[in-house]
């Protein structure tokens, strides 16, 4: 009898990972369906989002974000007549930080590039997670601002861990947690997604709040317009100096010359940013959808 009991325990231990994997995949299937379905998610080739970033002090900064497959991302923001940029062309990450006194484009360091590469994944780490080398575990349920949510532990291919929370009723992503290194300091951040609206069949959060975990101060990104499948040139994501070097027939601008000058210091000054998803022809086809939320 004891031997049979031990064999039963061993079998349960062996079957547990399989059951867990099935539960995760079933949960993700509901999540993808809630967003509009995998087919529609993957059909979007580019996206442009226009909105504003609201800082904790109440300061509003206009923001435009671009995404394009396979892995290109760019965010532009304006402050007091100055334009800042964060971009990734699928290989190189760069930015312009005028608020730090840097008006010329500069390459990001390894950590900034790593974060930009993660940001450039239009679908996020859950879609085709196995093909991407990621693993996903269902930790259980936890309350998120009054609503029950499924907590998923996502281990990226490189070993970094992210936590994703799916609303237990709508199966939409309402919170994420991550640890990142910013200017040499490890920062544990959390993001909250809300105000979901339907855009061409996809449910997209039009409000994202982000801040240090456990701290009341948050910055908020409010999306005002989302365009799917716009025409976006690949050159938009390329660092100007690199673009000028690739096309020697075009005269380099003063900014490009400065960025290409080896005497110019190359630093990484990456502003924390959060993005949602993608413009076809500039047609604002946004309509309000429903997002159940417990209070």
Could you read off the pLDDT of 168-177 as tens digits, one per residue?
Answer: 999 999 999 9
Could you read off the pLDDT of 132-155 as tens digits, one per residue?
Answer: 999 999 999 999 999 999 999 999
Alpha carbon distance 142, 166 (integer Å): 10
Write down the mean pLDDT value for the chain: 80
Q: What is the mean pLDDT of residues 4-19?
A: 42
CB 48 within 8 A of CB 66: yes
Alpha helices in the chain (DSSP H): 2-35, 38-43, 110-119, 240-246, 254-260
Tokens of 161: 């861990």
Could you read off the pLDDT of 37-64 as tens digits, one per residue?
Answer: 999 999 999 999 999 999 878 889 999 9
Domains within the chain, CATH numbers bracketed: 2-274 (2.50.20.10)
Alpha carbon distance 181, 32 (integer Å): 30
Alpha carbon distance 98, 105 (integer Å): 10
Confidence of residue 242 (pLDDT cuts 50, 70, 90): low
Could you read off the pLDDT of 153-168 as tens digits, one per residue?
Answer: 999 999 999 999 999 9
Could you read off the pLDDT of 175-209 as tens digits, one per residue?
Answer: 999 987 777 788 899 999 999 999 999 999 999 99
Alpha carbon distance 59, 56 (integer Å): 7
Has residue 237 got a pLDDT over 90? yes
């Amino acid at each position: 009898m004891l031997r049979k009991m031990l064999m039963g325990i061993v079998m349960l231990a062996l079957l547990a990972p399989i059951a867990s994997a099935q539960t995760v995949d079933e949960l993700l299937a509901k999540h993808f369906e809630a967003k509009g379905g995998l087919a529609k998610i993957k059909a979007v080739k580019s996206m442009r989002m226009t909105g504003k970033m609201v800082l904790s002090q109440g300061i509003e900064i206009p923001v435009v974000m671009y995404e394009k497959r396979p892995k290109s991302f760019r965010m532009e923001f304006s402050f007091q007549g100055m334009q800042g940029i964060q971009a990734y062309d699928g290989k190189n990450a760069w930015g312009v930080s005028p608020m730090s006194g840097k008006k010329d484009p500069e390459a990001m360091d390894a950590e900034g590039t790593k974060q930009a590469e993660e940001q450039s994944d239009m679908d996020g780490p859950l879609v085709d997670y196995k093909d991407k080398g990621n693993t996903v575990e269902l930790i259980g349920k936890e309350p998120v601002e009054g609503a029950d949510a499924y907590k998923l532990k996502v281990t990226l291919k490189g070993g970094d861990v992210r936590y994703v929370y799916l609303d237990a009723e709508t199966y939409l992503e309402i919170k994420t947690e991550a640890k990142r290194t910013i200017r040499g300091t490890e920062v544990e951040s959390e993001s909250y997604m809300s105000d979901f609206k339907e855009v061409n069949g996809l449910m997209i959060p039009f409000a994202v709040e982000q801040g240090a975990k456990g701290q009341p101060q948050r910055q908020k990104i409010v999306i005002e317009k989302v365009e799917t499948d716009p025409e976006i040139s690949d050159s938009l994501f390329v660092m100007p100096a690199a673009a000028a070097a690739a096309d020697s027939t075009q005269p380099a601008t003063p900014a490009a010359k400065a960025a290409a000058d080896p005497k110019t210091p190359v630093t990484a000054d990456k502003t924390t940013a959060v993005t949602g998803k993608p413009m076809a022809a500039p047609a604002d086809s946004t309509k309000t959808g429903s997002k159940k939320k417990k209070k």
